[in-house]
């Protein structure tokens, strides 16, 4: 329990300089890689808490297992998608900048 909480807080703290760097300096491949790892993992931990709180294993058993493994699979797909997007396309920071400015 405490390691999970510390890891989640660590991801939250790491997110702040990554987002600040992306806003200040624009697209940097290392920052895009960091965002592509930290944001999905942070989101995974948040959704994992939801699954554990609202579909507890002691009460729902198989639904908890399905929810947990479904979340793990989706997180893996999102991590791969972020990796592919950062390596074969413009990257997360440049994409958000394009969305924000409306310029392609």
CATH of the domain at 10: 1.20.1300.10
Taking only the tens place, the pLDDT of each residue in 9-68 is 999 999 999 999 999 998 999 999 999 999 999 999 999 999 999 999 999 999 999 999
Give the pLDDT score at 103.
79
Angle at the Cα of 77 (from 49 to 42), degrees rounded to 5? 35
Q: Which domain holds residue 55?
A: 1-101
Give the pLDDT score at 1.
61
Helix, strand, or coil (residue 28): coil
Non-local (6+) Cβ contacts of 46 within 8 A are 8
How far is the C-alpha of 100 from the C-alpha of 39, rounded, in Å? 19
Helix, strand, or coil (residue 76): helix
The number of beta carbons lying within 10 Å of the beta carbon of residue 4 is 12
Give the pLDDT score at 3.
84
The two structure tokens encoding residue 103: 């310029």
Total count of domains within the chain: 1
Q: Please state the pTM of the whole predicted model.
A: 0.88
Rg of the Cα atoms in the chain: 16
80 labeled binding residue: no
74 pLDDT higher than 80? yes
54 labeled binding residue: yes
Confidence category of residue 69, pLDDT binned at 50, 70, 90 = very high
77 pLDDT higher than 70? yes
């Amino acid at each position: 329990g405490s390691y999970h909480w510390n890891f989640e807080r660590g991801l939250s703290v790491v997110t702040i300089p990554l987002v600040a760097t992306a806003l200040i300096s624009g697209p940097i491949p290392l920052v895009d890689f960091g965002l592509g790892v930290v944001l999905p993992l942070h989101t995974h931990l948040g959704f994992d808490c939801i699954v554990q709180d609202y579909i507890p294993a002691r009460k729902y058993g198989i639904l908890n297992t399905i929810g947990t493994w479904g979340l793990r699979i989706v997180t893996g797909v999102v991590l791969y998608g972020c990796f592919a997007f950062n390596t074969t396309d413009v990257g997360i920071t440049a994409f958000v900048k394009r969305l924000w400015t409306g310029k392609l």
